[in-house]
Structure 1
Amino acid sequence: MEKNRIDVTQVKRLDVETRGSAKVMIDWPNVTVSSHQELGLKPEELQKSKCVLGFIPVIYYSILLCVGVPVNILTAVALSRLACRTKKALYYYLLAVTGSDILSQLFIIFVGFLLETAVFHRDVPALLLHSVSAAEFAANHASIWSTVPLTVDRYVALCHPLLHRQISYPARARKIILVVLALSLASGVPFFWWSDMWRNSHPPTALDTVLIWTHVTIIYFLPCSIFLVLNSLIIHSLRVRQKQQPCQEEHRVKPLPLRRLGKTTAMLLAITSVFSVLWAPRTVVVIYHLYVSSVHRDWRVHLAYDLSNMLAMLNTAVNFFLYCFVSKPFCSVVRDIVLLRGGPPYPRCALPQQQAPNNASMTSLYSGNNKRSQRESTPLSPRRARKPS
């Protein structure tokens, strides 16, 4: 009996020493110290959920923050100039997307991943931890849902141009952006009670299930469904217009500049497609964590969750390069900003009395130019060309 007691005491001491050394080895501890369930776990099971990547996420997020924030600020300045010059609602929606990306980088990458996880190892007050979590979700929702009004605006502009002239103007765009930001802020409040996947070893509760499904619906399934439907309608409308183009050429009617519309559509498709691809792995891993295996218990799920978060946060820094690749006006404005030039003057911004109405569309300008060019290129009839005696 005494020998058995000595063996049990030695096993407990070895267990405590092993858990202490494991805590030193883990760079980002995600194991709660005071938990009765951990006393039944073996030391090798505690090692499963350690951060396999080590300091790679810290380096990655630091580079992403140092590149993404200046690039997004440059994008915001360039879009502000374009919005002032052209008075188009499109640039206001893009400006809202850029501002939301900056908020996501500050709250999620800087505060969430770098400060809380890497610096403080989540040893912060619970109230602060939950408050930052709610702010992260609000910024994330704003970053994604700011793209939805942009998609709707492009759909109306291409498929219903007459309606677009009436409803699309900067004042209404600003109101829509404010409503989206307010709803995004309100949608982040329930996630104050979001469970910490890195530290909680207990199975997900009913509240965790509701919050996780609400999160993946708001963050991925619902916006991707809207993008898929509207982008499909836009592509179908462009194909129908391209088929009608030969008929218009036969009747000597010059079509709308499909090239310009195609660039805007390509930019929209690129933004939504990049979002859908980069956020898909994180959505799958979160659902897998809910029903199959937790991040706390399985190091492979921990690794997959790290990599999926890194891919998802990359979405906040790629829009600048998409704009430069697609839009020549954006590139010229960025060049003017970098070279500290004010850019060419625009009379529409300088003289209010010469401004076009807010709800005027670019298609009307093109149609007017086309009619004027046709009148100039068409020869006069003999009756009109005859000079008065």
Structure 2
Amino acid sequence: MSLGYLIKLKILWALNDVQKIYYPFVAAVGVPLNVVTIVILSRGKCGLSKCVTHYLVAMAAADLLVVIIDLILRQIPIVYRDQFLFLLHVRICNIHAILLYAATDCSVWFTVTFTFDRFVAICCQKLKLKYCTEQTATVVLGTVTVLSCLRNFFWYFLYTSEYWLSNSPWFCRVTIGVSRSLVWAIVELIHYILTPFIPFILILLLNALTVRHILVSSRARSRLRVRSSGESPSDPEMENRRKSMIVLFVISGNFILLWVLFMVCSILRRLDYLGYSVSLPTFVPEIGSMLQLLSCCTNTFIYAVTQRKFREELRNGVKYPLAMVVKLIR
């Protein structure tokens, strides 16, 4: 046994010990954070348009489902598999797979649709009045949800109904004939290209176009204001665009940063089935999965940092139960 192999094995064992703390912690934090985010945004007191609020609430709801379906019902039983051996005899894994992949698709594509909405609002003023509305947001989000469920229904037939906790990738049992078939490799490769490879490309492209538009229009508005007033006073319109840009870029940048390793590992693993072997240490995909799941808990912090009114609502939400407790004590 080579020294390199021993090192990789020790890293994997250490990572497994970390996951026993990491996954329960992320689940314990992710559920209340997303619930609080949904409640605060739904109240409509954060100074955001109803259109933006719809997207952010949908993103938080999808993240909450991923935390429950993936972290609580999958990852935690994996790292504590000795205590969850009963799952070997549970016959609902293929249904679980549909729910898991559909929720993940919604989480990813809601981010894309929000990015596109902000692109239209900032760069396409004529289309903005028709597209950036509460009704359009509802239709778009509903369409994405339905398509995500329909697209992932085929897992019901590819996976068996039983869990498989004694071999990688620690999920639904798959027959050897299916797992080694070309059809399986192509289906999984397409799956990971659609989510999250294409969303990556779309988000990067839309953000690049948005930045370009903001920079060009900012220079033009500055020149016009200087010519008309002889000085460069504050511009409320550009200030609003700047705030929208900050929220957009932080959300999409956070998504890309936390998903990129998972995406690369997933695609490389599926290419291996097609004969294009790229060797990665086992712990690398595990780290990618850990980061990907962390993305379901970070948007609340982003809103708290970038949105003053969201911070105020969050502060009021914390103060209210404390005030009620003090009142009852007195």
TM-score bracket relative to the smaller structure: 0.7 to 0.9
Correspondence list, 1:1-80, <5 A = 52=13, 53-80=15-42
Query: Structure 2 matches for 1:1-389, cutoff 5 A?
Result: 52=13, 53-82=15-44, 87-115=49-77, 118=80, 119-121=83-85, 123-125=87-89, 127-192=91-156, 193-194=158-159, 197-198=168-169, 204-249=180-225, 250-252=227-229, 255-292=235-272, 301-340=281-320
RMSD: 3.2
Distance in 2, matches of 1:121 and 1:281, equals 30
Q: Residues 274 and 122 of structure 1: is their aligned pair in 2 closer, same or farther, counting only changes over 3 Å? A: farther
Q: What is residue 23 of structure 1 aligned with on the other side?
A: none
Query: AA paired with 2:212?
Result: H
Q: In structure 2, do the counterparts of structure 1 residues 127 and 285 end up closer, same or farther at CA, with 3 Å as the change threshold?
A: same
1:109 alignment partner AA: L
Assess if the C-alpha contact under 8 Å between 2:26 and 2:294 holds in 1.
Answer: yes
Q: What is the deviation of 1:86?
A: 5.4
* 1:291 to partner: Cα distance: 4.0
Shift in CA distance, 81/171, structure 1 to aligned 2, threshold 3 Å: same
Classify 1:155/1:86 alpha carbon distance in 2 versus 1 (closer, same or farther; 3 Å).
Answer: closer
The 3 A distance-change label for structure 1 pair 243 and 319 is: same
| 1:80 Cα offset (Å) | 0.7
Shift of 1:314: 0.6
Deviation at 1:48, TM superposition (A): 6.6
Amino acid at match of 1:148: V
Larger radius of gyration between Structure 1 and Structure 2: 1
| Structure 2 length-normalised TM | 0.79
Is the CA contact 2:67–2:296 (under 8 Å) kept in the aligned structure 1? yes
Instruction: Answer yes or no: is the 8 Å Cα contact 1:49–1:302 preserved in 2.
Output: no
Cα pair distance change 1:162/1:288, threshold 3 Å: closer
Please, which runs of 5 or more residues in structure 2 have no aligned partner?
322-330
Percent sequence identity over matched residues? Answer: 22
1:86–1:299 Cα change, 3 Å:
closer
AA aligned to 1:245 is R
Range with greater deviation from structure 2 (97-106 or 178-187):
178-187
* Aligned counterparts of 1:266 and 1:336: Cα–Cα separation in 2: 24
Residue 325 of structure 2 aligns with which residue?
Answer: none
- Deviates further, 71-80 or 54-63: 54-63
Q: CA deviation at 1:212?
A: 2.0
User: Partners in 1 of 2:49 and 2:210 — Cα distance?
Assistant: 23
Deviation (angstroms), 1:211:
2.5
**C-alpha deviation, 1:108, in angstroms:** 0.5
Note closer, same or farther for the CA distance 1:191–1:201 as it changes in structure 2 (3 Å cut): closer
Q: Distance in 1 between matches of 2:89 and 2:249?
A: 42
CA distance in structure 2 between the aligned counterparts of 1:57 and 1:300, rounded to whole angstroms: 19
2:326 aligned partner: none
Aligned equivalents of 1:222, 1:152: Cα separation in 2 = 14
Paired positions, count: 294
| Cα distance in structure 2, aligned partners of 1:224 and 1:178 | 21
Identify the residue that residue 327 of structure 2 maps to in structure 1. none
Query: Contact 2:197–2:263 at 8 Å: present in 1 too?
Result: no
Is the partner of 1:189 in helix, strand or coil? coil
Higher share of residues assigned helix: 2
Taking the aligned partners of 2:297 and 2:17, their CA distance within structure 1 comes to: 21
**Which stretch has the larger CA shift, 138-147 or 244-253?**
244-253
Which whole-Å CA distance do the structure 2 matches of 1:247 and 1:116 have between them? 60
With over 3 angstroms needed to count, the CA separation of the structure-2 counterparts of 1:58 and 1:86, relative to structure 1, is same
**Distance in 1 between the 2:252 and 2:78 partners?**
30
Q: Is the 8 A contact 1:49 1:300 kept in 2?
A: no
Q: Which runs of 5+ in 1 are unaligned?
A: 1-43, 342-389
**Counterpart contact for 1:80–1:91, Cα < 8 Å:** yes
**Is 1:107–1:136's contact at 8 Å kept on the other side of the alignment?**
yes
CA separation of 1:125/1:72 partners in 2, compared to 1, >3 Å: closer, same or farther? same
* Distance in 1 of aligned mates of 2:144 and 2:271: 32
